[in-house]
Amino acid sequence: MSAVPAILRRPARPATPAPARGERHLRVVRQAKRRHTLAFVLGVLLLTAGVVFAAVSLNALAAGDAVRAADLERQVLDAERRYERLIAQVAELENPARIQQVASEQLGMVPATSPRYLPVSRPLPADGYVVELLPAGGATEPLKPLISAEK
């Protein structure tokens, strides 16, 4: 909407008459070029919507990752918990008192008496000599696999 009243508009001016003496000069105001306001507003809205959508999407992805991370952490905890319980169970099953009970009561075994000894000329692995066969940097103590998965 132009700020110039319609009455001041001069649609056609074939010849500009010379201003009368003493008359003030009037400048012709051209009609302002029409701006595409609607397109601009729509563009801004679209851009804003795009930015918002991108931000929300990123947040949603991040939240999804957080859920997955939490789930993985829970799985790790469960696995660790299970590992600890298995260690305890193995030790329980290896308990000499239990083995003795199973051997005597379920398998009918009796303690060995009158043992015979037969020294052999070569050391046996059970005598701890297996350690010497290990490659350099190997175990120096024949401890069980203990321990290694722990730390």
Query: Which residues, 21 to 50, sit near other proteins by CB under 8 A?
Result: none
- Are the C-beta atoms of 125 and 131 separated by less than 8 Å? no
Tell me: does residue 142 bind other proteins (CB under 8 A).
yes
Residue 129's nearest CA partner among 115, 117, 139, 137 is: 139
Q: According to the 3-state scheme, what is the secondary structure of 31-71?
A: CCCCCCHHHHHHHHHHHHHHHHHHHHHHHHHHHHHHHHHHH
Least distance (Å) between residue 98 CB and other proteins: 8
The stretch among 30-38, 41-49, 102-110, 119-127 that binds other proteins (CB under 8 A) is 119-127
Tell me: does residue 75 bind other proteins (CB under 8 A).
no
Q: How far apart are CA 117 and CA 119, in angstroms?
A: 6
| CA-to-CA separations, 23 to 9, 17, 19, 20, 93, in angstroms, rounded | 18, 12, 6, 5, 120
The stretch among 31-39, 44-52, 91-99, 101-109 that binds other proteins (CB under 8 A) is 91-99
Tell me: does residue 139 bind other proteins (CB under 8 A).
yes
Tell me: does residue 144 bind other proteins (CB under 8 A).
yes
Tell me: does residue 148 bind other proteins (CB under 8 A).
yes
**Tokens linked to 19:** 């201003």
Tell me: does residue 136 bind other proteins (CB under 8 A).
no
**Residues in touch with other proteins (CB under 8 A):** 3, 5, 7-8, 62-63, 65-67, 69-70, 81, 84-85, 87-92, 94-97, 100, 114-119, 126-127, 139-151
